[in-house]
Amino acid sequence: MSYPKRTAALVSAAALAGPVLLLTAPAARADVVNVDYRCKTPIGAKSAVSPIDIKGVRSGSGYRITMSWQKGVSSSPVELGKGAMNPSATIRLGGADSGTLAVTGPANAAAIPADTPIKISDLSGSYTPRKTGKVTFTAATLTIKALGTTTTCNPSNNPGPSLTLDVTAAGGSGALSSSSSSSSSGGSAGGLPQTGPADSAVALGTLGGTVLLAGAAGALWLTRRNPAVRR
């Protein structure tokens, strides 16, 4: 092939490949989202806006999810000594998955002065995909325990997701690190099959029906083999 023809072929191939590369979706997308927390504290209601960052790092068959606060939320009327404040939070899942993921972290490494916004340490948790697709991670409830009291903070501004992951279910199923509630009808969260007494009862009922059918067939066979059995 001549040089001009070979050059034209390469240009054509690049032109065809270009749109394909542009259409390829990223595996993850992270956004820092402002969350307007309304907190119920032992001394009344408080509010604070903090940018929330959520990151996901591949870990085995799942992900290590880390939630970060860029500003402090709530405050204490008294100083909180080192290790006196223990935070935890939940992250709401959306898209291909649903439910919540629990994230936890260490107590405060240094004393927090009175009437100072409480800076939350990074909180982390493990997430294993249950379904394949795009899963969103959105800030939900923040809980602060300190000096025998509990402060609960919930977003009031319906924030958008801080993280979107394009995930693949491991073996077709998976589990969240946090527990999910089941309906009263016995179904389990996330569409996972439930095993327990109810299933055992169904299995025993099926087995009983099989035994009854086998018994009827046996009686019929004996009747045909020995007419005297009819009496």
Residue 195 has pLDDT above 90, yes or no: no
* pLDDT confidence bin for 136, thresholds 50/70/90: very high
Report the percent of the chain where pLDDT is more than 90.
Answer: 48
The single-letter code of the amino acid at 121 is S
Please report the pLDDT score of residue 70 as a whole number.
Answer: 87
Residue 28 has pLDDT above 60, yes or no: yes
Residue 184 has pLDDT above 80, yes or no: no
Which tokens go with 182? 């089941």
Quickly count helices (H) and strands (E) in the chain: 2, 10
Cβ atoms of 80 and 111 within 8 Å: the answer is yes
C-alpha 106 chain-centroid distance: 21
Helix (H) or strand (E) holding 40: strand 33-41
Residue 22 has pLDDT above 60, yes or no: no
Please report the pLDDT score of residue 177 as a whole number.
Answer: 36
d(CA 100, CA 93): 6
Q: What is the mean pLDDT of the chain?
A: 72
pLDDT tens-digit profile of 49-91?
A: 999 999 999 999 899 999 999 888 877 888 999 999 999 999 9
pLDDT tens-digit profile of 115-124?
A: 888 889 999 9
Lowest-pLDDT range of 21-25, 38-42, 160-164, 189-193: 189-193
Task: Count other Cβ atoms within 10 Å, centred on residue 65.
Answer: 22
Handedness of CA 158, 163, 169, 174 (dihedral sign): negative
d(CA 53, CA 51): 7
Using a 10 angstrom Cβ sphere, with 0-12 exposed, 13-18 middle and 19 or more buried, the burial of residue 208 is exposed
The single-letter code of the amino acid at 148 is G
Q: Could you tell me the pTM of the whole model?
A: 0.63
DSSP letter (8 states) at residue 58: E
